């Protein structure tokens, strides 16, 4: 399983861009990188997924360097409502040899202040 390492916590202020980096040095060829957001007492919510380079949707951007050993989730202009725990998962899925995308660590607790 590709193990991931994220900062335990981060602080930011409203309106700032937040970048959360995840390290996954032993990522496998078929592994995808997936990020989730979780609010207290709710299930995680899928944010974004990518394999290489850059992926952008209406919520966030995901930057993946060529060696794929890390990835960065970028949240533009955060608000108080972005305060949550963010999880980085790396894996191929049930049918592949790597099920790391089913393994949630402790994530990064982002606190956005006014």
Partner 1 sequence: SQTIHQWPATLVQPVGSPLSLECTVEGTSNPNLYWYRQAAGRGLQLLFYSVGIGQISSEVPQNLSASRPQDRQFILSSKKLLLSDSGFYLCAWSFSQGNQPQHFGDGTRLSIL
Binding site for partner 1 (CB under 8 A): 30, 32, 34, 36, 41-46, 49, 87, 91-96, 101-107
Q: Quick one: 7 or 105, whose CB is closer to partner 1?
A: 105
Instruction: Supply the minimum distance, in Å, between the C-beta of residue 40 and partner 1.
Output: 10
Q: Quick one: 16 or 93, whose CB is closer to partner 1?
A: 93
Q: What are phi and psi of 110, to 5 degrees?
A: -95, 125
- Looking only at the bridges linking them, the beta strands covering 61-64 and 70-75 are antiparallel
What's the 3-state SS for 8-45?
CEEEEECCCCEEEEEECCCCCCCCEEEEEEECCCCCCE
Read off the tokens for 73. 């989730």
Q: Quick one: 63 or 92, whose CB is closer to partner 1?
A: 92
Instruction: Supply the minimum distance, in Å, between the C-beta of residue 2 and partner 1.
Output: 13
- Looking only at the bridges linking them, the beta strands covering 70-75 and 32-38 are unpaired
Instruction: Supply the minimum distance, in Å, between the C-beta of residue 113 and partner 1.
Output: 21
Instruction: Supply the minimum distance, in Å, between the C-beta of residue 10 and partner 1.
Output: 17
Q: Quick one: 16 or 44, whose CB is closer to partner 1?
A: 44
Q: What is the DSSP letter of 95?
A: T
């Amino acid at each position: 399983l590709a193990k991931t390492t994220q900062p335990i916590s981060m602080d930011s202020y409203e309106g700032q861009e937040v970048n959360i980096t995840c390290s996954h040095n032993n990522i496998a060829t078929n592994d995808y990188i997936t990020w989730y957001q979780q609010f207290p007492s709710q299930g995680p919510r899928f944010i974004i997924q990518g394999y290489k380079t850059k992926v952008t949707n209406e919520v966030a951007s995901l930057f993946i360097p060529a060696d794929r050993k890390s990835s960065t989730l970028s949240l533009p202009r955060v608000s108080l409502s972005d305060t949550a725990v963010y999880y980085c998962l790396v894996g191929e899925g049930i049918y592949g040899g790597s099920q790391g995308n089913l393994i949630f660590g402790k994530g990064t607790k982002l606190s956005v202040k006014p």
